[in-house]
Amino acid sequence: MDRGNHRYPYKADRNNPVATKEDVEYIIDQANRVLHPKISADEIIGVYAGLRPLVANSTDSKTTKLSREHTVDRPVPGFVSIAGGKYTTYRIMGRDVIDLAVNDLRRIVAESVTDKLPAIGADGYFALVQQSSQLSELSGLSESTILHLLNRYGSLISEILEIIESDKKLSQPISDDLPYLKAEVIYAVTHEGAQTVDDVISRRTRIAFEASDGGESLASSIATLMASSLGWDAAAKRASVSEFTKQLKNERASLAKLLAKVR
């Protein structure tokens, strides 16, 4: 695992990484260097963890010697692999892989332009933000909703608006406390590959973090919205909701046990 400047091997189940007491204490300590008032473990409502692959120059390298950078390898012609890296450097990683792979083409290839290509939805974003009031008038949505959609989808907002145009009821928020629209649940399925209630709540939106109950009270209504696009019957809806709530309960139990150690 990679915690700040400290890197150490993760010895538990790699398929289900969990935060440790030391991880939580580290985050709290670092946050409290700049926060006023300071936070405490009693205020934590959720914890999540992930594993980051790091690269060693040799099999007996010490953990502290592991590199945070990525490395690209071409063990045989036509086969290129990459290890290490992180989300924030994915474009550099992609460029380096392609630059090595094209060597096998044995012809002149133009330099990569990945650093000049806007991310999906970024092209035209700033112009659309300047037109938020006009978009509000045209769509019938509030300007705050338009800005919410622009900040989530950028110039792909037109795809959300098309869904709403086909069914005006989908312009309604899924909750009084959250900005997400019903159309966004449909979009998560039809355009972003969501297959489960957990996909929508935990990964396609930030409901799992932003809802006070982790999204539990919204699971059923979200399943109903997803059902038509996925061809779910009542049993399939219940199963997806049950899978999510079971996971949520397990996370709460793990959190309670973890925070008891921290306190």
- For residues 232 and 225, give the distance between their C-alpha atoms in angstroms, rounded to a whole number: 10
Secondary structure class of 261 (helix, strand, coil): helix
Sign of the torsion formed by the C-alpha atoms of 146, 127, 158 and 115: negative
Q: What value does the mean pLDDT take over residues 108-113?
A: 86
Q: Which residue from 85, 90, 60, 63 is spatially nearest to 5, judged by alpha carbons?
A: 63
Q: What is the mean pLDDT of residues 130-137?
A: 97
* Whether the predicted pLDDT of 6 surpasses 60: no
What mean pLDDT comes out for the span 77-100? 90
Kindly state the DSSP code that residue 32 receives in the 8-state scheme: T
Q: What's the CA gap between 69 and 46, in Å, rounded?
A: 29
Which string of DSSP letters, residue by residue, matches 36-92?
A: SSPP-GGG-----------B-SSTT--GGG-BSSEEEEEEETTEEEEEE--GGGHHH
Averaged over 226-242, what is the pLDDT?
98
pTM for this model (two decimals): 0.81
pLDDT tens-place string over residues 144-170: 999 999 999 999 999 999 999 999 999
Under the banding of pLDDT at 50, 70 and 90, the label for residue 174 is very high
When comparing pLDDT for 103 and 29, which is higher? 29
State the average pLDDT over residues 220-244. Answer: 98
**DSSP helix/strand/coil, 175:** coil
10-24, 48-62, 124-138, 140-154, range with the lowest pLDDT: 48-62
In which band, very low, low, confident or very high, does the pLDDT at 113 lie, cut at 50, 70 and 90? confident
Mean of pLDDT over the chain:
90
Query: If you count them, how many residues does the chain have?
Result: 263
Query: Which domains does the chain show, CATH number per domain?
Result: 2-43 (no CATH), 63-116 (no CATH), 125-259 (1.10.8)
